[in-house]
Structure 1
Amino acid sequence: MMRNLMHSGVDAIARMSTTRTNYWTELVLDTALGAWLLAVGWRHLDGGPWLAAGAIALGLFAFSFIEYFFHRWMFHTRIPLFEQGHRMHHERPLGYDSLPFFLPAMVLIALTAVLVVLMPFGFALLLAGSITLGYIVYGLVHFIIHHVRFKQPLLRRWAGAHHVHHYHPDTNFGVTTPLWDILLRTRYVRQPRKAV
């Protein structure tokens, strides 16, 4: 009974997560959270602009790994909520499949709380705000890659790296950067055609 109830709850959240409303609500909520974290972090930072720039750069770098980690080890595993939603995205890449609008904000707030305990308040908020900014950029980039047909060759190659992932799901987990695919050897490498 409890298992069926949990399974139907996961199914309901997964269905809700495929709607435009969920996608755009998440974007607005996360943008407001990120802007608030950056503004309050800047106001409470004990240091100058170089320290702020360092916190923001560190946060964006950290997010690049978080993006890779979640895509490779959470979305392509058997965690029902993540796996089901991501499988739907692979089946319908032009859909609005995303996480439930409230989940990323909850995770980002929890991460912020941990960072505030571990480091100075202003720096922690700037770091969390830039991780949030990275997540927002990732969401928009991923949406654009699937909904825009680029004419410029560099942009086509950039978008193509993610499209390859849909045909070779064990490769190209990075959407915004290939850095971790290169370092962890999951970047797709075209195999040469065999001579006949």
Structure 2
Amino acid sequence: MSSTRLNYWLEFAFTGGLAIALLGTGVERHRGSWFAAFATVLAGLVAFSFIEYLFHRWIFHGPDSMYRRGHDAHHLDPRGYDALPFFLPSAILIGLTLAFAVFMPMSHACLLGGAIAFGYVGYGLSHFAIHAMRFRQPWLRRWAASHHIHHHHEDANFGVTTPLWDHLLGTRYQGRKRPPAARDRADN
């Protein structure tokens, strides 16, 4: 783990460049249906949302490890620059794309890997914005609030970019339900 500002922003630059390169290569090599290419990119974005949830829930909030300790540091200082070493996400994504190429045409492997890389960059920038900005639009405020709730209830709201997997896997924060009599008194 690294907590330097340079590492934090280099990670976005490397992974963003990789996302553009993979998506561009996938489009350039694609010879089939454009609907299939679009579906592959969409599948990559959905896959990334699950990868985000999986890592956040079971690795960053899992057993003691360097990942858990790094994520704990983020919970202590949400505006800090704790991140993986800048080259690691890109190296993993290149390996993942090559693994996809064993099972599918290279164009689809690149589109899938590029979409996952793009999802990772989107996640990182979203997470940064949630902690650095105060949103005015109500839907953005609700979106950011979901992650802020996670910082106070670490067993819920693991999805940063989307609540999809929290809803499907039952980890969406529900809040405390007040009994009807207490709600009636509060309304009067």
TM-score under structure 2 length normalisation: 0.92
- Superposed, which structure 2 residues align to 1:32-51 within 5 Å? 32-51=17-36
Provide the alpha-carbon RMSD of the alignment.
1.3
**1:130-155 per-position Cα deviation (integer Å, ceiling 9, x unaligned):** 01000000000000000001122211
Runs of 4+ in 1 over 3 A off after TM superposition: 193-196
Tell whether 2:43 aligns with 1:93.
Answer: no
Tell me how far 1:72 sits from its aligned partner: 0.3
Q: Percentage identity across aligned positions?
A: 52
SS at match of 1:82: helix
How many aligned residue pairs are there? 181
Aligned mates of 1:153, 1:125 — CA distance in 2: 36
- Superposed, which structure 2 residues align to 1:7-18 within 5 Å? 14=1, 17-18=2-3
Could you tell me which of 156, 162, 165 is aligned with 1:177? 162
Tell whether 2:173 aligns with 1:188.
Answer: yes
Tell whether 2:123 aligns with 1:134.
Answer: no
SS at match of 2:99: helix
**Counterpart for residue 116 of structure 1:** 101
Tell me how far 1:181 sits from its aligned partner: 0.1
SS at match of 2:38: helix
**Counterpart for residue 83 of structure 1:** 68
Deviates more, 1:87-96 or 1:73-82: 73-82
**Unpaired segments ≥5 residues, structure 1:** 1-13
Aligned mates of 1:79, 1:70 — CA distance in 2: 14
**1:114-139 per-position Cα deviation (integer Å, ceiling 9, x unaligned):** 10001111011101100100000000
Deviates more, 1:35-44 or 1:168-177: 35-44
TM-score under structure 1 length normalisation: 0.89
Supply the AA of the counterpart residue of 1:46.
R
**Unpaired segments ≥5 residues, structure 2:** none
